[in-house]
Amino acid sequence: MSGTERRGIILAGGSGTRLYPITMGVSKQLLPIYDKPMIYYPLSVLMLTGIRDICIITTPQDQAQFQRTLGDGSQWGLSLTYVEQPSPDGLAQAYLLAEDFLDGAPSAMVLGDNIFFGHGLPEQLRIADEQAQGGTVFGYRVADPERYGVVAFGPDKRVTGIVEKPEVPPSPYAVTGLYFLDGSAPERARKVTPSDRGELEIVTLLESYLADGLLNVRQMGRGYAWLDTGTHASLLDAGNFVRTLSDRQGQQVGCPEEIAFENGWIDRAQLLDRAALFQKTNYGKYLRRLAD
């Protein structure tokens, strides 16, 4: 870990209009991905990094749903703080909303609808976490880079730019929804001017790090899965992906109890309490097997 303990942010705001009508009464990030709420997956990414102090940014109307689902985090050995996002004004806005929570600490922010999976993921996360200065983002090869913020590389493979939804992508590497930034992120976010669509763009914030020679892009190779769940089809695909892994391997994807238990943040008795809560489900049986 760096000198100042890194804190986590999960951006779980937004109106979810691309998933209407299923998000008209429930937050997108609380929709099920197979057997767990969507937010369990990004939460697990922060936990795998070793982060225990986490801010959940939600819309005002959805905050009570998240608090009912996640509580204060103590069941996983975490401390959860809730912050309202009055209106969705861009991803970089998260650093302004979470400024008091961060209190100068470096952060890892993950988007609430992103799912990461792969052998060696914890090691990738720890390497990013150990970088005390600047920022680290992850590039993932996609077939349709024009839908994303795309990394441009120079002849020496160094990052030369990040282009938002380019008509002619400079590379097939999209920037994923996971950002490790140092303590200067809120200050830099304050200097971001709204884009043509009126939002504080994360790409503009990352460009400020790049301009100072402080942005590192780590490429996620073939052994990793990165799923975003922005459409009905991708939501279904993500659920099927998790189900296939769970059924074939008998292991959970995105299980906060398992990570907390393995990290020593909760003991066997606490794990058994969670297993009892979910005793009528395969998830509960899995937790029981972990405890045994």
Taking only the tens place, the pLDDT of each residue in 72-92 is 999 999 999 999 999 999 999
Write down the pLDDT at residue 222: 87
Write down the pLDDT at residue 47: 98
Q: Are 18 and 107 in contact (CB under 8 A)?
A: no
Residue 33 has pLDDT above 50, yes or no: yes
pTM of the complete model beyond 0.85: yes
Write down the pLDDT at residue 1: 37
Write down the pLDDT at residue 85: 95
172 burial level (CB within 10 Å; 0-12, 13-18, 19+): middle
| Helix, strand, coil percentages, rounded to 5, for the chain | 40, 25, 40
Which of 277, 274, 230 is CA-nearest to residue 256? 274
Taking only the tens place, the pLDDT of each residue in 150-192 is 999 988 888 899 988 899 999 999 999 999 999 999 999 999 9
Distance CA 256, CA 43 (A): 7
Distance CA 267, CA 270 (A): 5
Q: Are 7 and 101 in contact (CB under 8 A)?
A: yes
The pLDDT of 242-253, averaged and rounded, is 92
Q: Are 47 and 76 in contact (CB under 8 A)?
A: yes
Write down the pLDDT at residue 155: 85
Residue 215 has pLDDT above 70, yes or no: yes
The pLDDT of 108-130, averaged and rounded, is 95
Residue 121 has pLDDT above 70, yes or no: yes
3-class SS letters over 198-250: CCCCHHHHHHHHHHCCCEEEEEECCCEEEEECCCHHHHHHHHHHHHHHHHHHC
| Token reading at 202 | 């994360």
pLDDT confidence band for 3 (50 / 70 / 90): very low
Write down the pLDDT at residue 2: 40
